Each structure stands twice: as structure tokens, then as C-alpha cells.
Structure 1
Amino acid sequence: MIKYKDTRWMWLVLPFNASTGSLSTLITLQILTLGGNALDVSFALSLSNAVLIPSSLFWGFMADRMDRKKQILISMGGTSASLLLMPLANSIPLLAINYSLITFMSTASTTPFNLLVMESAEKKHWGQLFSRFSFLSSMGMLTSLILSTILVVFLKIYEIEEILGIIALATLIAGIKLIPRPILTFERVAILHHKESFLTRMRHLPMMFLHIPNPHSFKIFSWRRIKTKPTNYIPLLYLGIVTFYISSGIFNTVYPAGLYVKGLDKSGVLTVITVGMVFQIIGFKVSGLLLEKAEEKKIAYLSLLLRGLSYSVLGVFAQVFFGLPIFISGLIFYPLAAGIAYSLFYSSSTTLVFKIVGERSQGKGLGVYSTVVGVSLFLGSLLSGYFTHYIGYGVDFMIAGSLLVIDAILFKYLEEG
């Protein structure tokens, strides 16, 4: 019989994720309600993505120095306070700033939560515990989306954000009692030595710095290195992941806005995003089984094709149709892209990265990876606003899809290298 230490604290992950899981979609709808456009949405979400690098640096270093419980409680308290202040953000710039503050505060709990999982059981039980942790996290995000989908019919968006703030505050109060102070303390580097811990950590925040990379670290992207086999494996893998995150930023940043502009009401927009989350949860359950039977690079290649083609189809519908066809196509192709394809690509590509950082210079390899991912997220979200504003939502989605098809070809080449 497996005997864990007290792991009741893990249930806190569900309501805490419920307080933030639907926020990016709510912020998008709130900006449009205030009279904003795709550029305004892009700037707000780009600012949030820009905050991810310094926040992952700062809170990562703090995780090696600060008491786990204290850092998680600071994260919950800061997130709750920012959400409760949302009614005061009555302009788009204030809304963007407050959303970035929520991003900064919510990321503080990412690493200490993962380390607490490792400190709550013997190593042989980590896989089972991380599986439960990931499931509760996903269910929290799904709960947030379902709750927002229902409440948006009756309440204003800032009132929903107030409710989410109260949920975060209640989680903070419960956390004071439930979150333990571990007797043994792991350093962050321990996360890199266990596959489940690494995949879970990077799923919540795809950036982790053991130290700040220097310019010399990026020489792996030199043309001489890229064109030469087999030394081009790592830079091509990283470039493939960069292309994925740029494409995702181009599409995901403005997709909810595109649904709204193309005739869906707020509840309809949230319904499409919620169904996507349901399929993402299913996809992560399936991906583990597939990775046991097939090569990671093959799964990444096929998932990129599926995601790219789904984006392109959604782009065609957005270019041609309005109203009900947008809703139906969203219910079919968005879950394929954001649910199944995303979970498969994430699981396969992160496994490939885990093999690299586990075998080579961990600090340098992970620092380069985290930097290029952070820059890609920012660049993709920024480009999305300009593409949409000047050439339309449909073309923006098709550009994102085309990038992924090209990316799939890159992974096919990587497979042959």
C-alpha cells in the first residue's frame, strides 16, 4: 500500500487554476467591449507574454532561496488582489497592466508547486503524484472556462473577474493551513532529472532558467552549425519549437476576438474555448500511450500537420462566413488544433527537450530554450495584432497554419537527420 505524506494541499491547485484559467479569453472580450480592436488585444497579451521571461527568472531564483509555502501564498495573494482590483481597470491600458501583474504573480507558484510534489512522496511515487497534480490543474482551468461561459450570460466581465478573485482569496486562506513546510528541500535542478516533473513544470510555464544565458550560448544557431549533420539536431529542434510558439501566438492571441467579431456572443466564444480545453485534457491522456508506441519526432510531425491544417480551415471559414458556420467550424477544428494536436506536440517535443537538457550542459541548454520560447511567444502575439488589423482574421489564421505545415516539414527533416 502506498503511503504518502499529507497531500491535501494538492487540491488547492484546482481552485487556484480556476481563478485564472479563463482570464485571457475574458480579457480579450473585455477589451473588445471597451471599444478596442485586434491591435489592442495583441498589445495587452504581448505585454503579458513579455512579462513571462523576467517573472520566470525572478521567481525561479526565489524558489531556491524562499520558503515554498511563503512563495505560493504570495502568488495566491497577489493574483487575488489583482483580480479584485479589475473593476478599477476601466481603460484598455490599465487592463493590460493589471493583466500583466496577474501573469507575474501567478507564475510565482509554478516552480514551488512542482517541488512540493517531489517533496511529498518517495521518488518511486513521483509519476503517480505528478499525474494527479496535472489532472487537478487541467480540471481547474476547465472549471474556470465552464463557470465563465455560464456567468457571462448574466454578469459583466469585471464582475466575473471579481468572483475569480474571491476564489483565489479563498484558496489563499485554505493554503495557509494546508500547504506544508517541507523538512527536505529540493533545488530546482532536481526537476530536470525526472521526466514527469520536467514535463509538468514546462507545461505550466515553458520557461525555466538555472542561470541567465550569455550571447555565446546562442552560437548553436549559427548557419554553419545548422547546415551540418548531426550537429544540427539541437538548433533545428529549437527552431521547430520556436516556429510552433510563433504560430501559436499569431493564432491564439486573436482567435477569441475573431470569434466575437465574426458573430458569436461572449458565451459562444467561451463555449468554443471550453470544448478545446476538454479535448486538450483528453489529448494529454492519450499522448502518454502514443509516446510508448511511436517515435517522438513522428508524433510531433503528425501533430504539427493536424494543427496547421486545422488553423488553415478555420482561416478559410473566418474569411468567408459569419455567425453559425464560424461556431460550428470552431467546435470541430479548434478542439483538433488546441486540444489533440497541441497535447501531442507538447508531449513529444518536451520529451525531446528533456533528453537534451538531461544529457548535456543543463543550465546553458535550458536557458537558451527558455529564452527563444519567451521571445517567440512575445513575437507571435505582437504579429497577430498587425496581421489581423491590416489583412484580416482569416488571413492571420492561415498564416499561422502555413507556418505549422512548414514546421512539420522541418521535423520531418529532423527525423531523417
Structure 2
Amino acid sequence: MSNLKVIMSFSSHRTKYQRGLELKSKKKWMLFVLPSSITAEGLHIVIPLYVLFLGGNVANVGIVIGLHYGLSAIGAVFWGKVIDKYHLKRAILVTCFSAITICSIGLFFTKDLSLVVLISSISGFFIIGKNPVTQVLVMESVPNNQWSQLFTRISIITTFGSLGAFLVGSVWDRFFDLRPYFLFCAITSGIATILSFGVGSKSIIERHTIVHSIHGIRHIFNHNRLNFQFIFTKVPHPHDFKPIITVFQRKMSHDIGVLFLTNFLFYFGSNIFFTAFIPFLKKFEFTNSEVFLVYLIQTITLLTIFFFVPRLIARISEERATQISYLPRILGIITAATFIPITIGDYSLLMAIISSCMMVSAFSIFSVSNSIILFKTIPKGFEGTYLGVNSFMVGVGIFSGALTAGYISEWLSYSVSFAIAICIIFSSLVMFRFYLKHRLSHRTI
């Protein structure tokens, strides 16, 4: 009898060991996450710097950023449709990373500003391609009750990728000029391309099945809070925007329309600041390495706050956390606009770091708490529809913010741009309080 127990125990341990090996094998696909994150974050900073290096102005930077994110939104729809219809993973990753590698090399060789705009836009279309694939890979790798753990792990890897890109950039000026940084991005993207060949060729899960798990979608949004990301599990139809239209008709069909407008205004105002921020720093003679250093410390701050945000929200509720998040965001803009112009040297750099860290702290709290509210508000059975509408509104906000910042900063001043950003963000807070008031009163206006 005792021998039988020993055999059964050994068999049980062996089964667990085999399962562990299988899970470990299933997660090997995550190898591409780190180099692809380095490329994406590196290009995000170096392209605006390169536009200014070629003699472009803040309006040119606004156009480049606006088109980049505009093509990213289109790419999110396109690649989502491809993986849903054809269930390809490896082909999408290899195609997208290869295209980004070519774009990076192309940026290294070109000195024509119009070509930089074109190549940057194309890179935006391909750089988003890994997102729907990553969603499917997570769903295939672990049970749905473990999605949040795996997305958290990916989020941390992505953050370290950002740190790597910014760390290299922060010492780049000591050895090279700006252009060879594109070759660094090309190398990391090439590595991601090679590692993508280890990903399974076909998907056994369709991406749109993710709408059946609010839990899963929530953590996808939390994972994507480091960047502006778009998730379209269903392409929005004009009728899907009815909750927003009825707000202006003062006869709401559902209060989620107010939440969509809140998010639109938040990202609109925020991206006015973020688009103008790098040209603003260069105006006050920040070196390229100092710009990268600001973003490096910003990312470290974001990684640190990442571990405290869930506790904060659990203690004070997502509604209060969302409202609180507006304060550091507005103060961050005021700090940059007020103190960077009147300080010099290390003090000016310190003000830029403080401003940047306040901005991302606010963004981290807002995006997590706001996503929780969003998923509580989405009517059951309409997840795909409303996620598509929300992504569309966020995308329009980002695109509008980039263009507004570029032209207002160039034609008027950075101070005017920052003032407009503060007003729009404050109007987002007013809209959110209106949403809370309406939700609590349960009455139609």
C-alpha cells in the first residue's frame, strides 16, 4: 500500500512538472516583447527629435505624431481583422517587425522632412500589429483566470524595454549624433523579427472571443496604459455613437456616452502637452541625451507607481481616484510652462523631470481607474461595440491634440498651447463629475 502511495505521489509530481514545462514552452513567444518594446519606445522619442534636427518646427512634429497615431488606429482595425479572419500570428509579427526594421533603416538614410513624415506614418501602421497578436497569445497560453498575471508580466517586460531604449538614448550624444539611433532601433526590431519565428503559425482562439471576458479586457487596457493603444474587437458603426449624440440632444440613451466624451477630452488635452513637450525642451536647449533622460526617469516613476495604483484605487474607490488624477496632470503642465523657461542648467532639467513624472503618475491612476469604471458601465453583450467606440474617441483625441499642439505652438506660443491643454483637461474633469452625478441620480436630462 505504501509503495502504491509513493508511485502515485511520484506520478503526480511528474504530471505537475510536465505541465510546468508545457506552460513554460507556451510562454517562449514572450521573447519578442522586449526588443519590440525597445524599438517602439525608441522611435517614439527619436522621430520628433529628428524632425527638429532636420530644421522642422513644432507644427511638423504635430503632423508627424498625429499621422503616426492616426495610422496606428487604422492598423489596429486592420491587423485585428486579419488575425480574426485568418488566425495568423507568426506571419503578422514577422511582417510588422520586418516593416519596422525597414522603416528604421529608411529614416537613417533620409534627410528629407517629407519622407520622414511618410515613413513615420507607415511605421505607425505596422508598430501596432503586435498588439492583437499578443492578446491572442495570452489567451492561448494560460487559462482566463490567469490572463491578468500574464498581462502584468508583459507590462513589466514592456517597461524594461522602454527603460532600455531611454537608457541608450541618454548616453547617445557622447558617442554619436542622432541619426545612428535609427540603426539601433533597426537592430532591435530585427531581433524581434527573428524571435517571432518561434511563435506558432496559426491561432486556435479568435481574438473577438476576448469580449466574453470583462476581466480579461480590463487587464489588457491596464497593460496598455504605458502608451496610447487602440483595441477594436468590432469596427464601430455610426449607430454605435448614439450614446454620445444623445448627450448633445440632452436626452441620454445611456450615460456611457458622457464617459466617452470624458476620455476624448482627457486624451485631447494630454496629447497637446505631450506633442509640444519635446520641441519645448529643445527650444530651451536641452540636449538629446537630456530629453531621453527625462523619459527614462519618467518610465522608472511609472514602473514604481504601477505597484501602488491598485492599492490606492481599492482604498479610495475608482471614482475618487479618477478625480484625484486630474490634479497632478494639471500641476505637471503648470510646472513645465512656468519653471522651465525661468531656470537654467540642472534646475531646468529637474523641473522637466518633475513635470514629466507628475504627468505619468496622473496618467497611470486615470487609465486604471477609468478602465474599471468603463467596464462596469458597458452594458452586457455590447463589450465589442463600446470598446471600439471608446478606442475611436481616444484616437480622435490623440490625433486632434497632436495637430492642435503643433499649429498653436508655432503660430502663437507654447504657453497658449499649455493653457489650452489645461482648459481641456479641466473640462474633462467637469464632464466626469457630470457623469457621476447623472449615474447617481439615475435620471435622464
| TM-score grouping bracket, smaller chain normalisation | over 0.9
8 Å CA contact 1:280–1:342 kept in 2: the answer is: no
Distance 1:278 1:349, change over 3 A: same
Question: For 1:8-39, what per-residue CA distance to the aligned partner results, in whole angstroms no more than 9, with x for missing partners?
Answer: 22132011111121212211111111111111
Task: Determine which of 278, 283, 295 is the counterpart of 1:261.
Answer: 283
CA distance in 1 between counterparts of 2:266 and 2:318 reads: 16
AA partner of residue 280 (structure 1): L
Match of 1:391 in 2: 412
AA partner of residue 130 (structure 1): F
CA distance in 2 between counterparts of 1:76 and 1:82 reads: 10
AA partner of residue 186 (structure 1): E
AA partner of residue 297 (structure 2): V
Task: Determine which of 255, 263, 266 is the counterpart of 1:233.
Answer: 255
Q: Which moved more, 1:350-359 or 1:258-267?
A: 350-359
Task: Determine which of 32, 54, 71 is the counterpart of 1:51.
Answer: 71
Match of 1:368 in 2: 389
Match of 2:229 in 1: 206
Match of 2:311 in 1: 289
Work out whether 1:277 is the aligned partner of 2:277.
no
8 Å CA contact 1:250–1:381 kept in 2: the answer is: yes
Indicate the SS of the match to 2:233: coil
Question: For 1:333-357, what per-residue CA distance to the aligned partner results, in whole angstroms no more than 9, with x for missing partners?
Answer: 210112x111111111122222334
Question: For 1:31-58, what per-residue CA distance to the aligned partner results, in whole angstroms no more than 9, with x for missing partners?
Answer: 1111111111111111112212211111
Work out whether 1:249 is the aligned partner of 2:264.
no
Q: How many residues align?
A: 414
CA distance in 1 between counterparts of 2:188 and 2:165 reads: 10
Distance 1:232 1:324, change over 3 A: farther
CA distance in 2 between counterparts of 1:183 and 1:211 reads: 19
CA distance in 1 between counterparts of 2:232 and 2:148 reads: 23
Give the drift of 1:325: 3.8
Task: Determine which of 341, 354, 360 is the counterpart of 1:332.
Answer: 354
Q: Which moved more, 1:214-223 or 1:116-125?
A: 214-223
CA distance in 2 between counterparts of 1:114 and 1:358 reads: 22
Distance 1:153 1:399, change over 3 A: farther
8 Å CA contact 1:233–1:414 kept in 2: the answer is: yes
**For 1:120-131, what aligned pairs fall within 5 Å after superposition?**
120-131=141-152
- The runs of 5 or more residues in structure 2 that have no matched partner are 1-15, 439-445
Indicate the SS of the match to 1:23: helix
Match of 2:40 in 1: 20
Indicate the SS of the match to 2:308: helix
Give the drift of 1:256: 1.1
Paired-residue identity, %:
23
Could you tell me the TM-score, scaled by structure 2's length?
A: 0.87
Give the drift of 1:323: 4.7
Q: Which has the greater radius of gyration?
A: 2
Distance 1:243 1:224, change over 3 A: closer
AA partner of residue 55 (structure 1): G
Give the drift of 1:92: 1.2
CA distance in 2 between counterparts of 1:320 and 1:183 reads: 56
Question: For 1:254-299, what per-residue CA distance to the aligned partner results, in whole angstroms no more than 9, with x for missing partners?
Answer: 2011111112111111111211111112222221222222321211
Question: For 1:139-159, what per-residue CA distance to the aligned partner results, in whole angstroms no more than 9, with x for missing partners?
Answer: 111211111111233212220
CA distance in 2 between counterparts of 1:205 and 1:399 reads: 21
Work out whether 1:118 is the aligned partner of 2:143.
no
Task: Determine which of 107, 111, 114 is the counterpart of 1:86.
Answer: 107
Task: Determine which of 47, 51, 70 is the counterpart of 2:91.
Answer: 70
Distance 1:183 1:170, change over 3 A: closer
CA distance in 2 between counterparts of 1:183 and 1:41 reads: 38
Indicate the SS of the match to 1:19: helix
Could you tell me the TM-score, scaled by structure 1's length?
A: 0.92
Give the drift of 1:322: 5.1
8 Å CA contact 2:170–2:289 kept in 1: the answer is: yes
